[in-house]
Structure 1
Amino acid sequence: MEELNRIKIVLVERKKTNKWLASKLGKDPATVSKWCTNTSQPDIATLKKIALALGVNIRDLLIPTPEKRIEEE
């Protein structure tokens, strides 16, 4: 599966755990684990809540897209 988010990396940078994030968001720790392994992705509203909980810009949680356009591939 393609990696789309950097949640796991940002958690490490902030010295926080999946369990901590799950409790902050009221989510099952298994759900947060799936986000951290990029097995599944949070919706945009949840991504905003994650950014707020971690004190980061929402963009910091996403892997940037390539600079080329689809037509150029």
Structure 2
Amino acid sequence: MNRIKEVLEEHGIKQTWLAERLGKSYNMVNSYVQNRSQPRLETLLQIANLLNVDVRELIVSSKK
């Protein structure tokens, strides 16, 4: 699971902007945002860099 949707909302950034910067289709980014698929680690790092956040902010921890 990821928190891409929440982080985008916190920063007021649209999925279309992220898709353009990543060079990916809107549908692919939307599948990440809706947690239907998970981005590769390289893509997750790229998203974190674009949003200027620590990559750990984009991940839901499985530890309790």
Normalised by the length of structure 2, the TM-score is 0.97
2:41 is equivalent to residue 44 of structure 1:
yes
Deviation at 1:64, TM superposition (A): 1.2
Instruction: Give the count of matched residue pairs.
Output: 64
Query: Which has more radius of gyration?
Result: 1
Q: Which structure ranks higher in relative contact order (CA pairs < 8 Å, sequence separation ≥ 6)? A: 2
The match for 1:71 is none
Q: Which 5+ residue runs of structure 2 have no aligned equivalent?
A: none
Normalised by the length of structure 1, the TM-score is 0.85
CA distance in 1, matches of 2:20, 2:44: 15
Counterpart of 1:7 (choices 4, 7, 22) is 4
Q: Which 5+ residue runs of structure 1 have no aligned equivalent?
A: 68-73
CA distance in 2, matches of 1:35, 1:49: 13
Aligned-partner residue type, residue 23 of structure 1: E
The match for 1:66 is 63
Task: Report percent identity of matched pairs.
Answer: 41
Q: Which has the higher helix share?
A: 2
